[in-house]
Structure 1
């Protein structure tokens, strides 16, 4: 049996027995999309397949630096950080990069923890789509920078003067992908082995930056693949004495790094496209217009789910390929939403506001959930933008929050967010973003020292 044929508990047990494994790798994703996990003995794993297992809920109560939130209700010092129930997803079984015969399974929180679990939050949105008669398909594409650094050297340098793997601005370079063909082939091979196949990969504009487009899949699987790609791209880099970063923007000198999402809906009843209508302008069906309108109208209040860090907002400035308002256009890369006309198979929306640092489960939940609300409400989008969206005035209602704090306050106050994702999730995630913003404000930046130290 091969890993991606595993569908049931019995299948999972069978492949483990076939491979004579003594231990199995299990991982889940925290608020920030960071994969946390461990190796588990075969006996423990078999029991967990049947009954679940317990995992300390601190991973839902700390930040990317393992610092504990002081403002959350779900978990904290006041609860004593108890174990929470976790279920293993048999169908997530995969081979693992450079671990001969080892298997990886994705897990997700259950019970009360399920109300704040990122993967479960996306699943609830997908369940809504199913109840409305739709199957959602999605594909993620990521930009990331590669450096000739290690975790030790980057810290020794204070994350300054880092050496990128290649110099200068050279997007779509055949020289770069040929010179570094070994690296590109290793990325492509990993993606095939771990089943997040890459549809296209190329150098982007900027030193050491690469863009990878992951193949389209059903929404839940697409998010799993995106989350695994981000995790194991970092693993592959570090195994080769390199480092990959998915920060939204790591340097003032270069554009930010995007995490765009392509989305479409099919009718569950017959598999036909819900977005394609050849008789309409740009082949946009009424359902696609309503979906687009929901994404547009709700983008300002859901922004912290797709721009979840303080750093995310340094990317959203005019002229750097990142939108600053909730605009849309047809084949327009200066807008937040890009309608891509095509056939019944390819008609879709590209959600371009997303940054590479977003948790894929939450970014997709926001992009899909907002569109579904638009369909439910029968909303209509604004007029499309033609030309450069950065140089045109837009309705104030389309203005996006400029900071993580402002975005979080809009999200926290949104009744639609609470109805879509659940009050428990909105409260918990809002608290985690407020914590993130407060942690940043505790620090003095280089810009402040340079500007004020001598002169003020």
Structure 2
């Protein structure tokens, strides 16, 4: 039997033919969790084929795991009275198939799975799909791309723990923005990353050294719908794996050091109609900005302060929302203005788009994309007009920003804004909002009780 091309896999029947052609002994099946990590298990071929019809079990409580597998309370999944680690039914997604380069041909297939009820509404991939269905109901197709900044170290997971995360060796010295010298020296990692992404059909459009020691950026090509979200989630996992297989370590923390700028996960988004024609461009309007684009921007601008906790999902995320480190501090918009939360990019009908600069590199790709798309669709539905364009440096003119466009000042305040958001509950569902809020409150309470090194240095002797 001939080997089907993976890009042609769309149905359960296609998957069966693929398995019959390749005859693997095991298949990788997994899902993206709440922090955006990929959780996968090896499944025998016999079990996998059975699961195509009957579904496969994953522990629902894993959806409430925070970074480092810290169990959080989350309504409908876990509580303070205990956790039930019973398996919950998941359905394998046929067209999610990829090849894992480092696995042998007998076990290199990877499929994603989606949770069904009752945990289905809590899974980030399903949250995005819920918003995407809203776009399709309006006759719109969503296109996205993601950019990720990250820092690489000459360290291992063991060495950073042994050093207690102090005195870490960065992979490059000093600023090295686009330097071929650094790129050439580091070609082993770069080539491995590009080869891996090509094999996994992750559209890596560019990767380069950024402005800072060990600082790098990767940009994914435009993609449609949930496939683009899958690409972003897989890229973050793959980049970490490739780095560690080269005795290096990558962090996507929003801000890993007081001496470092924040690390972003910028999102580019545009909409097309059912025929594939772009709807953000209208040559009869100023700057070619169509009414649809204007209302999309208005919706995202209006809801950014309410949705901030999904763009900045940890206590550390809010170390990034500071002026002068290339991070937004308020829901502003402007054409080609990188001090704004929303940078509008003009050009041809197909290139005109909105760049949302709010997400940190630590944001869950599914949830960050769901936020931008959902808020924009809400703006179109409500015909929300954006506020005044920021044609100035926002950092130097915060007094010009209306109070209702200011970001919440703290992690705790952002949690409460999200909890009270009627738009969030409409777009993402009450079950997701309630569970997410409960998890984040638990994280906030944990960190609020910790004594930091800065406090010791400031107060130990003089208090």
TM-score bin, normalised by smaller chain: over 0.9
Matched, 1:22 2:22: no
> What's the CA shift string for 1:42-81, capped at 9, x where partnerless?
0111111112111111211221122222353433445623
Q: Distance in 1 between matches of 2:74 and 2:349?
A: 47
Per the alignment, residue 276 of structure 2 pairs with 271
Matched, 1:453 2:457: no
Report SS of the residue matched to 1:454.
coil
Per the alignment, residue 36 of structure 1 pairs with 39
Matched, 1:86 2:124: no
TM-score of the two chains, using structure 1 as the length reference: 0.98
Matched, 1:5 2:8: yes
Q: CA deviation at 1:198?
A: 1.0
Q: Distance in 2 between matches of 1:33 and 1:238?
A: 18
Does the C-alpha gap of structure 1 residues 179 and 79 become closer, same or farther in structure 2, counting only changes over 3 Å?
Answer: closer
- Are the equivalent residues in 2 in contact too, given 1:75–1:81 (CA < 8 A)? no
- Are the equivalent residues in 2 in contact too, given 1:188–1:197 (CA < 8 A)? no
Q: CA deviation at 1:160?
A: 1.1
Q: Distance in 1 between matches of 2:446 and 2:48?
A: 37
Per the alignment, residue 414 of structure 1 pairs with 421
Q: CA deviation at 1:406?
A: 0.8
Matched, 1:138 2:112: no
- Are the equivalent residues in 2 in contact too, given 1:261–1:351 (CA < 8 A)? yes
TM-score of the two chains, using structure 2 as the length reference: 0.96
Per the alignment, residue 122 of structure 1 pairs with 128
Match for residue 366 of structure 1 among 371, 384, 407: 371
- Are the equivalent residues in 1 in contact too, given 2:150–2:252 (CA < 8 A)? yes
Report SS of the residue matched to 1:397.
helix
Q: Distance in 2 between matches of 1:78 and 1:416?
A: 31
Report SS of the residue matched to 2:68.
coil
Q: Distance in 1 between matches of 2:357 and 2:77?
A: 32
- Are the equivalent residues in 1 in contact too, given 2:60–2:77 (CA < 8 A)? no
Q: Distance in 2 between matches of 1:439 and 1:62?
A: 14
Q: Distance in 2 between matches of 1:19 and 1:206?
A: 45
Per the alignment, residue 332 of structure 1 pairs with 337
- Are the equivalent residues in 1 in contact too, given 2:64–2:74 (CA < 8 A)? no
- Are the equivalent residues in 1 in contact too, given 2:177–2:212 (CA < 8 A)? yes
Q: CA deviation at 1:17?
A: 2.5
Match for residue 45 of structure 1 among 45, 48, 64: 48
Matched, 1:72 2:79: no
> What's the CA shift string for 1:304-363, capped at 9, x where partnerless?
111101111101110100000000010011100000001111110001001000000000
Per the alignment, residue 402 of structure 1 pairs with 409
- Are the equivalent residues in 1 in contact too, given 2:97–2:109 (CA < 8 A)? yes
Q: CA deviation at 1:92?
A: 0.7
Report SS of the residue matched to 1:431.
helix
Q: Distance in 2 between matches of 1:183 and 1:11?
A: 35
Q: Superposition pairs for residues 128-207 of structure 1, below 5 Å? A: 128-207=134-213
Report SS of the residue matched to 1:259.
coil
Q: Between Structure 1 and Structure 2, how many residues are aligned?
A: 455
- Are the equivalent residues in 2 in contact too, given 1:264–1:347 (CA < 8 A)? yes
Per the alignment, residue 391 of structure 1 pairs with 396
- Are the equivalent residues in 2 in contact too, given 1:248–1:312 (CA < 8 A)? yes
Q: Distance in 2 between matches of 1:290 and 1:253?
A: 38
Per the alignment, residue 113 of structure 1 pairs with 119
- Are the equivalent residues in 2 in contact too, given 1:408–1:434 (CA < 8 A)? yes
Match for residue 110 of structure 2 among 104, 114, 136: 104
Which has the higher mean CA deviation after the structures are superposed, 60-69 or 226-235?
60-69
Per the alignment, residue 226 of structure 1 pairs with 232
Q: Distance in 2 between matches of 1:283 and 1:307?
A: 32
Match for residue 428 of structure 1 among 425, 435, 455: 435
- Are the equivalent residues in 2 in contact too, given 1:248–1:315 (CA < 8 A)? yes
- Are the equivalent residues in 1 in contact too, given 2:299–2:378 (CA < 8 A)? yes
> Structure 1: which 5+ residue stretches go unaligned?
none
Q: Distance in 2 between matches of 1:71 and 1:444?
A: 26
- Are the equivalent residues in 1 in contact too, given 2:189–2:242 (CA < 8 A)? no
Which has the higher mean CA deviation after the structures are superposed, 118-127 or 276-285?
276-285
